[in-house]
Chains A and B, each alone.
Chain A
Amino acid sequence: MSFPFSDDHDMIREAVRGVLQDAYDGGKGPEHIYKSGAGYDAELWTSFAQDLGMAGIAIDEAYGGAALGDLGRVVIMEELGASLASIPFSPCSTIASDMIAGVGSDEAKEEWLPKIAAGEAIFAYTDGHHALTVEGGKLSGRVNMVLYGAQADVLLMSFRDGDKFKLIGIPQGVKGYGAETVETMDPTRSFSNITLQDVMMKDVMHLGEGTPEQFDAIVKTSFIGLAAECVGGAQKALDMTLEYLGQRVQFGRPIASFQAIKHRAADMYIAIEAARNAVYAAAMAEGDDKVEAALIAKAYASDAFFDVAGHAIQLHGGIGFTWEYPLHYFFKRARANRAVFGQSAREYERLATILLGEAA
């Protein structure tokens, strides 16, 4: 493997790919999971998190993690994007573990990071500061479209308390907590709407606090994982397309030999490589540069994934439009990423504000 990855990263990529291949019958894909409507593959998550030990890829060694940072996570997210595996790595092992590591108290870190690393607890995260109210020691409100919210043992939420943001953890099944799985256009993952009705604050775990800027930075840098998933998904869509183009014969030759086809495939590759640059740059960035690099990665890679998946369907012709052929899952995943995590216009406006100031 080449820059920026090390031998450790290569080994992880190989191991993750192997587990996904085994789980999905030599690459036939996780359709049985999608068809079940659950969007969650519990068996795979167990082998991935517990047997393979991947849930703590970026967690400090002191807490039982592998301390391989964002580059390690990028490797895994690329593979998960390519396989569209239905496991909660993204919420649990990117944003939730970063929240605890970043703004959590020492006790919270000591209690929960080892559990995440060992695959013993699933965490999800959502920002509740517009949605939650606290009155008389009771928490109420509703948050929608929480990734793997229904499967989470603990739902992390942030909310505003004066100048600070607080990080709380709501254990699954606490009184007043309701999680309702939503059927979505993207069947590869599980989204839930969460209702909190008079949840007693004493039943809630107080895990940490920080400035709104700290929370914002953690959310933004967690986009690096999402962006890597987009790169992996886009690459897989291109690979499937190239395979098909080489086989499909029209006018007496494989359609891969037609320039109109080749040029579109080249454009897909250009977009993927550019997204790759953005993602790897963000994974390697440090300090203040990291948030900006993460915004760039998220904006560019999520658009590239959607465009590439669309081109892939076009280049496949009729077969790409069928339900049976698995290309549409990539298209739907790409679209869902934009829907749930925001469209690139938001990141571009934020970058514009950095470059140009606020619009008058």
Chain B
Amino acid sequence: MSTLRDEFRDWLNDNLKGEYECLRWRGMPGDDEAYPELRKIWEAKLGEAGWIGLDWPSEYGGRGASDADIIELAEEYAEHGGPGRCGHIGETLLAPTLLAYGTKEQQDKYLPGIKNGTEFWCQGYSEPGAGSDLANVKTKARLENGEWIIDGQKIWTSLALESDYIFVVARAEPGSVGNKGLVFLLVKLDQPGVDIRPIKQMSGSSEFNEVYFTEAKCAEGDIVGKVGDGWRVAMALLAFERGTSTIGQQMTFKNELNAVIKLAKQNGAANDPLIRTRIAKAYTELQIMKFGFRRTLSSDQMSGADFTSKIFWSTWHRNLGELAADVMGASAEIINEGEFSALQKLFLYSRADTIYGGTNQIQRNIIAERALGMPREPRGGQMVTKG
């Protein structure tokens, strides 16, 4: 019996070759700058063949794929070294949000571009003064002559330079504070009021950007939910992050661990008892993550696996980066032909994992307060910093 997975495997064998061969194993987090144009063409190929949005409703071209199918396809993709997906923010974060909270018009307007692999999205949440304290957004939006006018600045925006649109959390009620008075807007990036500046990171690459809005515009109908719903929609979107969007990541992790294992066997590090234990532990924790993911997908209510997954994977990945560097030994220091190797990138880029998407410290607060019911720390709204 032919399954979706078999079909996908055949398709990958037929298509991930020739001019696309160079994309194999490239473009993962930390390597986002690899072949951006060709990866977008690849996305359109995926879209054309129907491999995007398989679990969407049939009216938007879904094929009734189950969670189990999605996991299998992600496994297949990773086993072939399928390149990092530039469309993942649109497909796995925005699309489910629009399907749950968007209007029919918004769904009709934005889902096809995501489905076809031709329109790309990035996420406008963090600001210089709103990192861990995300509700402290200062970017303003006002409704004027049937348009939203946006002023402010976002930061740490992944893939902004490669994207067509950004979803922006902004403050629409003047004088509102915290998570009140916010809106969730869908904004085109290619317009005079938007300026994108890449941030050069310690890993040498520039996945992250600053995005400046100076009287940038979007249509009145490009608000998801109502004025004041911004926080709720923004959080609902983040909840999708715990679902299917992390599948591909697990497969990437497996490939990375395999690369570390391969190198350790080649250069003799595999004989070092401490390295052996660390590799065995990395493998152990990878298996633990895999089952935690299954627990998440298989239960209706939040389980412990949901609360702990971000801090667990990010810490695991950072440790893997350190392990990779230790397996490389002194050669980890050497830069060949002016470019970091894959394992050097892993080592450097993985420092970001325990910061973005809620730092490990924020994760511990969330676990303590929501999973364990411990009291909130008194908030420092009234605190004065001495100058």
B298 touches A (CB below 8 Å): yes
Given the known A-B contacts A4-B298, A274-B312, A348-B281, are A356 and B368 also in contact in the complex, defined by CB atoms under 8 Å? no
Residues B376 and A359 in contact, CB atoms below 8 Å apart: no
Within B288-317, the residues touching A (CB, 8 Å) are 288-292, 294-295, 298-301, 303-305, 307-308, 311-312
Residues A3 and B298 in contact, CB atoms below 8 Å apart: yes
Residues B308 and A270 in contact, CB atoms below 8 Å apart: yes
A351 to B305, CA, bound (A): 24
A280 to B287, CA, bound (A): 12
A267 to B361, CA, bound (A): 11
A164 to B372, CA, bound (A): 51
A322 touches B (CB below 8 Å): no
A293 touches B (CB below 8 Å): yes
Determine the chain A residues whose CB is within 8 A of the CB of B376 once the complex forms.
257
Tell me the count of chain B residues lying within 8 A, CB to CB, of chain A: 49
Determine the chain B residues whose CB is within 8 A of the CB of A360 once the complex forms.
268, 271
Query: Nearest chain-B residue to A347 (Cβ)?
Result: B280
Q: Which among A50-58, A65-73, A130-138, A258-266 touches the partner chain?
A: A258-266
Determine the chain A residues whose CB is within 8 A of the CB of B301 once the complex forms.
2
Cross-interface CB contact of A274 among B300, B308, B361, B364, cutoff 8 Å = B308
Determine the chain B residues whose CB is within 8 A of the CB of A293 once the complex forms.
287
B144 touches A (CB below 8 Å): no
Would you give the 0/1 interface string for B363-386, flagging 1 where the beta carbon is closer than 8 Å to chain A? 111011101111111100000000
Residues B276 and A273 in contact, CB atoms below 8 Å apart: no
Interchain nearest-CB distance for A104 vs B (Å): 31
Residues A262 and B292 in contact, CB atoms below 8 Å apart: no
Cross-interface CB contact of B304 among A265, A272, A349, A355, cutoff 8 Å = A272
B34 touches A (CB below 8 Å): no
Residues A348 and B276 in contact, CB atoms below 8 Å apart: yes
Within A223-281, the residues touching B (CB, 8 Å) are 242, 245-246, 253-254, 256-259, 261-263, 265-267, 269-270, 272-274, 276-278, 280-281
Cross-interface CB contact of B372 among A4, A269, A349, cutoff 8 Å = A269
Interchain nearest-CB distance for A122 vs B (Å): 33
B277 touches A (CB below 8 Å): yes
Residues B292 and A356 in contact, CB atoms below 8 Å apart: no
A234 to B290, CA, bound (A): 22
Residues B375 and A254 in contact, CB atoms below 8 Å apart: yes
Interchain nearest-CB distance for A268 vs B (Å): 9
Residues B312 and A359 in contact, CB atoms below 8 Å apart: no
A300 touches B (CB below 8 Å): yes
B265 touches A (CB below 8 Å): yes
Residues B288 and A345 in contact, CB atoms below 8 Å apart: no
Within B7-30, the residues touching A (CB, 8 Å) are none
5 nearest A-B residue pairs (beta carbon): A262-B368, A281-B291, A273-B304, A3-B298, A352-B276
Q: List 11 A-B contacts (CB under 8 A).
A: A2-B303, A257-B376, A262-B374, A270-B367, A278-B287, A278-B288, A280-B295, A300-B284, A349-B280, A351-B283, A355-B279
**Given pairs A258-B377, A266-B367, 8 additional interface contacts (CB within 8 A):** A245-B374, A266-B371, A269-B307, A274-B312, A277-B288, A278-B291, A351-B283, A355-B283
